[in-house]
């Protein structure tokens, strides 16, 4: 999973609706994710807890670990535009090679990456994951949800940056949209 962290060498700033892309904080990319060994250990610990709790079901630790590993490191790719009335939902990260038009909806338990325009509804981290993010080449959604938070963009207001892609993320319980440079 790729997460965004603020560059520690930049002074902390927050972007409000009236600020420009130049005034938003600098962001650095970091690669994170649990190793397969860690996932197996967690699955074994969970199986032991269930056995101690008196659950009689047999658990396949390797299958559970593989499922967790795949969910974290795999993504669903969709090629094409989503038109009004269409809905795309996936248990993990979604990458869309096209636009999400008004009236269309994208919902993922992981991140949402749109290599096109987001003009519909996007819900990243739909199982309550506040570390999820939404990335789009042109961000102008009807509604944007990350985890349990819901936000709307002002009507008629265009994306802050027509040249640079943008991403939305949650920090301290607030949804921020920043230019990706």
So where are the chain's domains? 75-179
Given this model, what pLDDT does residue 75 score? 87
Q: Is the pLDDT of residue 97 over 90?
A: yes
Nearest to 117 by CA among 76, 176, 162, 157: 162
Q: Is the pLDDT of residue 153 over 90?
A: no
Decide if 135 contacts 118 (C-beta within 8 A).
no
SS3 at position 45? helix
Given this model, what pLDDT does residue 10 score? 46
Fold of 75-179: Pectate Lyase C-like (2.160.20)
* SS percent in the chain: helix, strand, coil, step 5: 20, 35, 45
Whole-number percent of the chain with pLDDT over 70: 65
Decide if 136 contacts 166 (C-beta within 8 A).
yes
Given this model, what pLDDT does residue 49 score? 79
> Which residue in this structure is represented by tokens 């396949």?
60
Given this model, what pLDDT does residue 103 score? 94
Query: pLDDT tens for residues 15-28?
Result: 444 444 444 444 44
SS3 at position 133? coil
Helix boundaries (H) for the chain: 36-52, 61-73
Tokens of 181: 């440079």
5: DSSP letter: E
Q: How confident is the model over 114-125, as a mean pLDDT?
A: 95
pLDDT band at 175 (very low <50, low <70, confident <90, very high): very high
Tell me the range of 2-11, 33-42, 69-78, 168-177 where mean pLDDT is highest: 168-177
Given this model, what pLDDT does residue 162 score? 60
The C-alpha angle with vertex 20 and arms to 16 and 119, in degrees rounded to 5, equals 75
pTM of the model: 0.61
Given this model, what pLDDT does residue 53 score? 72
Tell me the range of 32-46, 57-71, 133-147 where mean pLDDT is highest: 133-147
**Cα–Cα distance measured from residue 181 to residue 166, given in angstroms and rounded to the nearest whole number:** 9
Which is higher by pLDDT, 82 or 1?
A: 82
Given this model, what pLDDT does residue 154 score? 74
Q: What is the largest CA-CA distance in the chain?
A: 58
């Amino acid at each position: 999973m790729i997460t965004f962290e603020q560059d520690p060498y930049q002074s902390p700033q927050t972007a409000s609706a009236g600020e420009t892309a130049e005034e938003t904080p600098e962001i650095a990319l970091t690669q994170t994710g649990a190793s397969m060994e860690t996932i197996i250990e967690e699955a074994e610990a969970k199986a032991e807890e269930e056995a101690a709790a008196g659950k009689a079901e047999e658990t396949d630790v390797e299958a559970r670990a593989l499922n967790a590993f795949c969910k974290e490191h795999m993504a669903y790719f969709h090629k094409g535009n989503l038109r009004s009335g269409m809905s795309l939902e996936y248990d993990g990260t979604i990458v869309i090679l096209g636009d999400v038009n008004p009236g269309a909806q994208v919902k993922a338990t992981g991140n949402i990456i749109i290599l096109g325009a987001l003009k519909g509804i996007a819900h990243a981290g739909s199982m309550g994951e506040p570390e999820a993010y939404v990335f789009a080449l042109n961000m102008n959604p009807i509604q944007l949800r990350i985890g349990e938070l819901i936000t709307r963009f002002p009507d008629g207001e265009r994306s802050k940056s027509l040249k640079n892609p943008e991403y939305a993320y949650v920090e301290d319980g607030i949804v921020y949209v920043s230019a990706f440079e």
